[in-house]
Structure 1
Amino acid sequence: MARQCRVTEPLLRALRELRSGFSPHSKAEVQSVLEGGAGSIVSFRVLRELHTLLRERGSDIYLHELLDGSEIYIPVVELPKRNPELVARLEKIKAKLANEEYKRITKNVTSKSGRLGTLSDFGREVRPLKKVIITIFNFLVTIAAAFACTYIGTQYIFTESAARVLSSVIVASLVGLAELYVLVRTMEGQLGEL
């Protein structure tokens, strides 16, 4: 935060005229500013005292007129030199983290340049197809078993074959729809985990 400003000629004249009215701890700073001349730096505390003195004396000069043309002085902050050992450690850590991130991203990428692939690669590629085939086979067996059980079970209820087939188709359709619902929910859950 700025606490100082550069002095202009009108401000210097006012400080010369009112130098005797300043408090003892501000007189030394006023004296150094007067010795430094225009362009030297004065604190806002001295400017507040100057403003108070001007009001007490009933001066027709206002503080903003004295500050016209002056600029706020902001000291240049020098950043401390960084420790070379710390910089070297930080660079090592950054390189290590970048390498770990690269390995994490590329862990499931295999290069297939110049070779046909190993048996484990083939097994990895066939495994999802095997799951799909087993799921479809299970679906068809479930529907066929529901149809057969209903057809055999309805022989005690219906004497006609058309009624038995119709009731078997209805039950097999309901079981198929339930099986599809469970299958879709399972696949949705597996896709959500990816």
Structure 2
Amino acid sequence: MASAVEAGRRLRRAVEGGELAGLPAGLRAELEEALASEGAVVSFSLLRRLHAALREAESPLHLHELLEGSEIHLPAVPVPPRNPELVARLERIKARLANEEYRRMTRNITGQVREMNGTLAEFGRQVRSAKAVVITIFNFIVTVVAAFACTYLGSQYIFMETAARVLSAVIVASVVGLAELYVMVRTIEGDLGKL
């Protein structure tokens, strides 16, 4: 906690220049002694007495003017020596955490050499991937056929000729098919981006 101020030029000039001649001799001597010390450190208690003396003498100088350019003196905090038992315990904890992190990073790595055809888990992944592709293609076909059927049946209220109904159904099915392809491409692109 701060309890002193490192005197600035203004306070030094006031003490050396005689601007504080109206102060008691003892107070002036203490100020000169504090300014002569290493770092020119003036305690807060001395500054309080200086402030009171300036008020009593009705001096035109104010304390805040004298402290212009001064800085608060923060004493160095002594760092206690580290406890060797604590240091040893911290080293053991760091080593344990490093081992846990290493195990976490390497837990899915196996030392087995893969066979030529791959393992059963690899076969399962390939089946799931193929299943997803088949479902996606089936979904695409069902969507396009449903769009065609709905448009063909719904357009009977607008068009009387079969050719116009088929043409409008093909156009709508094409638009829906292109939209579905766009969504599939974006999904596959997103999946590949994660790899």
Q: TM-score by structure 2 length?
A: 0.47
